[in-house]
Structure 1
Amino acid sequence: MLSVPPNPRSWCALVLLSALVTLPLWLLSLPAALLLGPMLAAIVLGVQGQRLAVPKPFYSLAQSLIGLMVAASISLPLLSHLLADLGLYLAVIAAVLLASSLLGWQLARGPWLPGTTGLWGIYPGAASAMVMMAESAANADVRLVALMQYLRVLLVALSASAVAHWAAPVAPEPSAPLPLDLGGLVVTLALALALSWLGRRAALPSGPFLLAMVLGALVQLAGGYQLTLPPWLLGLAYATLGWHVGLGFTRSTLKTARRALLPMLAAIGLLMALCAGIGYLLVHFLAIDPLTAYLATSPGGMDAIAIIAAGSGVDLPFVMAMQTLRFLLVLLLGPPLARFLARRLEGKTPLSGG
């Protein structure tokens, strides 16, 4: 049985502040307003010392619902088209991995971050995985790895949402809402609950998201079943994800990182610029839509990019194919690359204290 989250007053304050921050973003038609508003509200309360955390079952369920949202956009002709361009995806992802490895190497060589912290902190698209793997590294400060990873997630979400708003300022005409398929909603919720449970048991980073995206697509393609995901349900999932990311920012982590914050921001900004440059090459040489290329090459987080892409009218399967493949390759190649580079830096010792 799920327990009620502690600190009910703090949760009420978080919900109220989230609504107040989200409303102007929503009125501005900013993509992912329902993600960014709760995320910014959670950062404010987290930095002020409110000790809150989204319970894992709720966070896993939110990941599953977002994965099912992506799955709902996948079709057989589209999969055939994506497989035909597999070489393109791998080339782009290799370029992003090379850029992040070089940036991490420079951070680790410099005086700003302890040990191999910069190597684990810069890899894109697998924030929770890199934090967990850094815990087993003898020469990395896990607190700074977590801060750097979630700073990247925050800055990418903010910039991608702003770019999406600028690139597509005219919102599409809203279509008449379809009547709610109550039976379909029950089946979809049952599927999301089952996949979120399986994802947690699988011990795979972002397991609920990945399982829901893959198995949800199989259910839809093989069984001809249309997933039912009303906007209010997705809105709750977006807010849960925003709270999870935002509450990771606390006063103690910021205090620990005060002298490393500028190098972190510079490295993240440079990585985002390099990824945007790769996106420009896709536009220039392959005539891919600029916003689609930008979101496809943005350095994570994957679930946040899925939300922004879904509300921006871009080629969502192309974006998510690129993001998912990169996520998997970062999981496979990121730790060996970090350890390989770390062996070249064995003389460097971690900082202690703040």
Structure 2
Amino acid sequence: MQMPGSPMPSPSQLGRWLALIACAGGAGQLLHALAVPAGLFLGPMLVAIAFGVCGAGLQLPKPVFRFGQGCVGLMVAHSVTWSVLAALGQSWHVMLLATALTVALSAIVGLATVRFGGIAATTAAWGTAPGAASAMVSMAEEHGADARVVATMQYVRVVCVVMIGALVSHLLGATGTGGAAASAAAGPQGMQLGQLLLSLAVVLLGVILGSKLPAGALLVPLMLGAVLQLGGVLVITLPAWLLAFAYGAIGCYIGLRFDRPTVRYVWRRLPTMIIGAVALIVLCAGCAWLLARATGSDFLSMYLATSPGGLDAMAIIAVETHADVGLVLAMQTLRLFGVILTGAYCARQIIRLTRA
């Protein structure tokens, strides 16, 4: 997993990488065989958390993570059709309402975290922002907050969102499908190979173009793939092994963020972070239930659409559980940019209110 120009891994580090790959792949395949929603993503993430906390000292290269995001983005583009776009155009008011509610609930949880959890206001204000984890960490550092605690709060919430999302999907009767929706239609082998190469080219180009944008490695391939598919230029072709690699790369990247020094540093604050994350998820689930009742949408789609964070993870779960992928991605993307645009303002208000 070394990038060109980086030093060669030592034999012990290479052994740890091989062990991580074997365990992550095995866990993903096991959960997938048990029909756990997003099992190919959830298994590697849990294994990577264990490796990180046990002091493996591994860090997945950012380009590998972005390539995984690009594959997921192109997979989601497979679900973008003219009928889906028309339905989304009719639901814009619901998306705006859901985004505003999620941001407001995250501010309330942030205030409670400061008041009852003993976390500094400057840190809690950024750590409870619902989405755009990497962007929130960067902005928090620029505003003088403790970036380590903010990063841990963000990724603790992502893990909670993924695990609870998989559990809710399972309880509602949804099962994992392995991303089969993005496979090619039956046709000549040469045509499939050509479409596969074109699909990979779209992923790589999208990752490069989106490298400077928040979640751009996922969103730009999604938009490129959707435009080419709607125009009849591209038949999106992503084989199961490639999607399994993409899921595993994203899961391992998130899991390895939980290294031993970081967990030791935030150990006393960890229960507060978990309680705050679960509280925000429950509040968003309540809003999802009300919105689903009011709009006639199914609860699973609305739940995934309003879950606080993890755009790529929610995309994976939505595709595998046959939820309304268009609704989920549109609302998650809208909130992503909403959080980035309003993050500094919301953080200042939380700090002002806690000081008052």
Counterpart in the other structure of 1:96: 102
C-alpha displacement of 1:93: 0.9
Question: What residue number does 1:352 align with?
Answer: none
Q: CA deviation at 1:228?
A: 1.0
User: Cα distance, 1:134 vs. partner?
Assistant: 0.8
Separation (CA, whole Å) in 1 of partners of 2:248 and 2:176: 21
Structure 1 counterpart of 2:157: 152
Contact conserved, 2:207 with 2:217, CA < 8 A, in 1?
Answer: yes
Residue 167 (structure 2) pairs with residue 162 (structure 1): yes
Match of 1:195 among 197, 202, 206: 206
Q: 1:171 & 1:32 partners in 2: Cα distance?
A: 6
1:69-121 deviation per Cα after TM superposition (whole angstroms, max 9, x unaligned): 11111012211220111011000110110000111122234452134111111
Is the 8 Å Cα contact of residues 123 and 330 (structure 1) preserved in structure 2? yes
In 1, are the aligned partners of 2:41 and 2:251 still within 8 Å (CA)? yes
**Corresponding position of 1:281:** 290
Query: Which residue of the partner structure matches residue 308 of structure 2?
Result: 299
Aligned partners of 1:284 and 1:132: how far apart in 2?
A: 38
Scaled by the length of structure 1, the TM-score of the pair is 0.91
For the residues of structure 1 that align with 2:176 and 2:73, how far apart are their CA atoms? 24
Deviations 1:230-262 (A, max 9, x none): 111111100000000000001111111111111
Shift of 1:345: 4.8
State which of 251, 271, 275 in structure 2 corresponds to 1:266. 275
Contact 2:48 2:256 in 1 (8 A): yes
Of residues 339, 344, 349, the one that matches 1:330 is 339
> Which amino acid counterpart does residue 294 of structure 2 have in structure 1?
F
Question: Could you say which structure has the higher helix fraction?
Answer: 2
Amino acid at match of 2:209: L
User: What percent identity do the matched residue pairs reach?
Assistant: 40
TM-score, normalised relative to structure 2 = 0.91
Q: Which one-letter code corresponds to 2:104 in the other structure?
A: L
Structure 2 CA distance, aligned partners of 1:171 and 1:310? 9
Q: Tell me, in whole angstroms, the C-alpha distance in 2 between the residues paired with 1:307 and 1:42.
A: 18
- Structure 1 unpaired stretches of 5+: 348-354
**Structure 2, unpaired ranges of 5+:** none
**Counterpart position of 1:248:** 257
Residues in 1 aligned to 2:160 and 2:177: alpha-carbon distance in whole angstroms: 26
Q: Is residue 60–residue 197 contact of structure 1 (8 Å, CA) maintained in 2?
A: no
Deviates more, 1:127-136 or 1:281-290: 281-290
Q: Taking structure 1 as reference, are residues 149 and 88 closer, same or farther at Cα in structure 2, changes over 3 Å only?
A: same
Q: Which runs of 4+ in 1 moved over 3 A?
A: 1-6, 169-180, 343-347
- In structure 1, the residue matched to 2:46 is 40
Contact 1:108/1:116 (<8 A) preserved: no
Paired residue for 1:2?
4
Q: Counterparts of 2:91 and 2:175 in 1: how far apart (Å)? A: 30
* Superposed displacement of residue 50, structure 1: 1.1
Q: 2:67 aligns with which of 38, 42, 61?
A: 61
Equivalenced residues, count: 344
Distance in structure 2 (CA, Å) of the matches to 1:231 and 1:303 = 17
Task: Give the aligned residue type for 2:100.
Answer: A
C-alpha root-mean-square deviation of aligned residues, in Å?
Answer: 2.2
Letter in 2 for 1:302: L
* Residue in 2 that maps onto 1:129: 135
Q: Any conservation in 2 of the 1:306–1:316 contact (CA below 8 Å)?
A: yes
Output the CA distance in 2 between the equivalents of 1:170 and 1:237: 19
Match 1:321 to one of 297, 322, 330: 330
CA offsets per residue over residues 255-277 of structure 1, 9 Å max, x none? 11111111111111110001100
Q: CA deviation at 1:20?
A: 3.2
Q: Which moved more, 1:4-13 or 1:158-167?
A: 4-13
Letter paired with 1:100? S
Letter in 1 for 2:302: A
The yes-or-no answer on 1:186 pairing with 2:200 is no
Deviation for aligned residue 1:178: 3.9
User: Does the CA-based 8 Å contact 1:112-1:259 persist in structure 2?
Assistant: no
In 2, distance between residues paired with 1:50 and 1:329?
A: 36
Deviations 1:43-78 (A, max 9, x none): 111001111111121111111111111111101221
